[in-house]
Amino acid sequence: MATIRKRGEYQWEAQIRKKGYPAQSKTFITKAEAEAWAAVIESEMVRGVFVSRGESESTTFAAALERYAHEIADSKKGAREDLYWIRALQRLSLSRRYLASIQSTDIARYRDQRLEEGWAPATVVRELALISHLFNVCRKEWGMHALQNPVELIRRPTIKNDRERRILTALVYQKRDGILLEEELTELEMLAKHTDSVELPFFLTVAVETAMRRGEILGLARRDVDVKKRVARLADTKNGSARDVPLSSKAIEAFNGLPRQMDGRIFTLTPDAVSRAFSRAVIRARKEYEIGQKTSLMTKGLAEGQAIDKIKSDPFLQDLRLHDLRHEATSRLAEIFPIHELTKITGHKDTRMLMRYYHPKAEELAKKLA
């Protein structure tokens, strides 16, 4: 039988001791709550289905996140990003709750709040995946067997991030010595002209010629690139499988154009530095492009307001992301290699994922029909 005793003016403690089971105790505000809890626990013990909830009821979400950061996240490839989300979650009021008290409604409320704040569905899904993995680890590896995963009971936001963005070419106007000159340039050529980074132009060339990811390119050492065989060896990739990437003549030239480093690395830039340099170059190049376009349009007789309105709808150097280079490279390589060979180059294990990156131009497909 359970023992119910009063511990203070507003506290009632229920204790259960049964042979073959660890002692259980819990404190409640009312005697009725203590008796109801004790009845449930004793019933489970009698039926042989009791699982201790003690640890999950005494471990806060913040404490579990801290343990997860040290024991799980540190060994993952995306450790840096996971640690960022863990610190953000620890600042929430939800983190002060005990794990056993967190319900699916709490997670659903948090999901809706993030979406209302303007976070992308893909970002929210990644956060939910981290929370879900934490609860599964608690249940399967940390002995909290009675703990339920609240994320499994809610809807995940629908991700609609398919992009068909290709690298564009445009006539770029520039005034020199009072003469308006025009030059046909690609977006990548414009970026190369408007960056302070020595390495970024070489990085852009390698990315668009090989379809390698940012981290894969920056992780390359001289020993990984065989210039004679025209192959780059990737030992550490996002999906964990090593692969060899064929190199075009332009990619070889880019590798050869970079100075040799004492530590054997090809690029000295960090992933964040590449992203920042890319963003700065896009802003500068777009600004220069707009100035040239405005001058050209006004020279042709358009009023300043009309010229500005027309430039706003010009997609050149607008909505351009670093990851779009992988889309562009994959689409170009798809014109050369069949899909089963293309998966070996890009590193996709699922052809459905590969199709998200492959966006051929309709006019090129029409040429093949002709």
**pLDDT tens sequence across 69-88:** 888 887 776 677 888 888 98
Judge contact between 204 and 194, C-beta under 8 A.
no
- 161: in domain: no
Q: Is 78 helix (H, G, I), strand (E, B) or coil?
A: coil
Contact 215, 271 (CB under 8 A): yes
In terms of domains, do 10 and 65 share one?
no
- Domain that includes residue 134, residue range: 58-153
Residue with tokens 């040239």: 292
* Three-class DSSP category at 221: strand
We report the CATH number of the domain holding residue 72 as 1.10.150.130
**Same domain, yes or no, for 189 and 90?**
no
Q: Are residues 357 and 214 in the same domain?
A: yes
pTM: 0.68
Residues 336, 200 within the same domain: yes
Whether residues 73 and 27 fall in one domain: no
**3 state SS of 11:** strand
Whichever domain contains 350, its CATH number is 1.10.443.10
- 142 near 58, Cβ under 8 Å? no
Q: Is residue 159 part of a domain?
A: no
71 and 191 fall within a common domain: no
Q: pLDDT tens, 13-53?
A: 777 777 766 676 777 788 788 778 777 767 766 676 555 66
Chosen domain end from 153, 180, 215: 153
Residues 42 and 149 in one domain: no
Task: Please check whether residue 328 is in contact with residue 208, taking contact to mean a CB–CB distance below 8 angstroms.
Answer: yes
Angle formed at CA 102 by CA 97 and CA 104, multiple of 5 degrees = 150
pLDDT tens-place values along the chain, 370 residues long: 677 777 777 788 777 777 766 676 777 788 788 778 777 767 766 676 555 665 666 788 898 899 888 888 877 766 778 888 889 888 988 888 888 888 999 999 999 999 999 888 888 998 999 999 999 998 888 877 778 889 998 899 887 766 778 899 998 888 777 778 888 999 999 999 999 999 999 999 999 999 898 988 998 889 988 888 999 898 877 766 788 889 999 999 999 888 888 888 899 998 889 999 999 999 999 999 998 888 888 888 888 888 888 888 889 999 899 989 998 998 888 888 888 888 888 887 777 777 766 666 677 777 777 6
Enter the tokens of residue 141.
């590896």
Last residue of a domain, one of 153, 182, 199: 153
Continuous H helices in 262-336: 271-299, 304-312, 324-334
Nearest to 156 by CA among 194, 187, 181, 121: 121
Residue 98 has what DSSP assignment? B
- Structural domain count, the chain: 3
Q: In the chain, at which residue ranges do the beta strands (DSSP E only) sit?
A: 3-8, 11-16, 24-28, 169-176, 179-186, 225-226, 231-234, 243-246
Please tell me what DSSP assigns to residue 358.
-
SS3 174: strand
To which residue do tokens 């909290």 refer? 144
Measured CA to CA, the distance from residue 331 to residue 211 in angstroms comes to: 9
Retrieve residue 186's tokens: 């690609």
pLDDT score at 273 = 92
333 plus 192 within the same structural domain: yes
Question: Taking a C-beta distance cutoff of 8 angstroms, is the pair 144, 99 a contact?
Answer: yes
Judge if 289 and 350 occupy the same domain. Answer: yes
Q: How far apart are CA 71 and CA 229, in angstroms?
A: 41
> CA–CA separation, 14 vs 243, rounded Å?
60
